[in-house]
Amino acid sequence: MTSSIITIPNTSWVIDHQQLDWISALESGKILHFTHLPFEIAENEKILFNEAIQSPSSRNISLGADGLLKGAIGEDETRKTLKQLILRFRNLSQDLMHSLVPKYSEYLKVSPTSFRPLNIENRQQSWRADDRRLHVDAFATRPNYGERILRVFMNIHPNNQPRVWRLGEPFEKIADQFLPRIKPYSKLQAKILHVLGLTKSFRSEYDHMMLQIHDAMKSDSDYQKNSPQLQFDFMPGDVWVCFSDQASHAAMSGQFMMEQTYNLPLKALYDPQSSPLALLTSKARRNLV
């Protein structure tokens, strides 16, 4: 399981020595782990390391591409400082991805950037929403028709506390185990969900499969406990990058993390056949989108 982590001891967010084996590892579901990327916390930003800065009704604090800050509470000056912190991380993550994988640059779609000040262990959530359970990312309301979910994470805890993850088995093995269990796809149901406004677009069979796999993994207590897995501690200052729709993961503990999500069309990949859509299409032997 240790081969699921590729450690890159880079000291700059701009990669000046691109390596195709890193890209191949990323597109095959592995995690790229950067251990020396600088992210200085200014004196006026230290006030942000407080759970009370997040609204109790929000899952996290996020900054949209439109510049709108959501999920944060506090005085205007505090919110301004928070926005600047999040924006700085967004810009650095873009520097990283554009230099690490230049081919992606023109295709990356920037989703909201998040700051996560809450302690994971204290969250009270349903099993379906509980990210402490091994899963691959799939979203009930946002069908993506096979677009990849690329995410950049950074632990910025001020007191040397790790972000503890569990990393699961390869996606193909997950698909082999859970595909036989999933409910059949219904175009009628997908249409009803869209008409009722429960999905932002018509849910494809691919999106149905991914959501079913996500739910089946999280609901299987035996799988959560006994499937092949590795625990890994991401220390403060660590940055890690993965396709979270392919890399099986669970966030077990930690606090104060930055996260940037990108959506990426299949045509941007070096190897589109490594994608979950290609793998599921091959197993189903029919078009899924």
Percentage of the residues of the chain whose pLDDT score is greater than 70: 99
What is the band of 127 on the pLDDT scale with cuts at 50, 70, 90?
confident
pLDDT tens-digit profile of 201-228? Answer: 999 999 999 999 999 999 999 999 999 9
SS3 242: strand
Please report, for the domain that includes residue 264, its CATH number. Answer: 2.60.120
* Of the listed ranges 84-93, 122-131, 212-221, the one predicted with least confidence: 122-131
Q: Is residue 289 assigned to a domain?
A: no
Q: Which residue range forms the structural domain that includes residue 240? A: 2-284
pLDDT tens-digit profile of 237-270? Answer: 999 999 999 999 999 999 999 999 999 999 999 9
Q: Is residue 85 assigned to a domain?
A: yes
**Alpha-carbon span 140 to 201, nearest angstrom:** 11
Q: Is residue 158 assigned to a domain?
A: yes
Number of independent structural domains in the chain: 1
CA distances to 144, 178, 212, 213, 283 from 182, rounded to whole Å, are 19, 7, 6, 7, 14
The strand pairing partners of 152, in sequence order, are 241, 260
Torsion angle of C-alpha atoms 124, 128, 131, 133, degrees rounded to 10:
110
pTM value is 0.95
First to last CA, the chain: 32
pLDDT of 72: 95
What is the band of 2 on the pLDDT scale with cuts at 50, 70, 90?
low
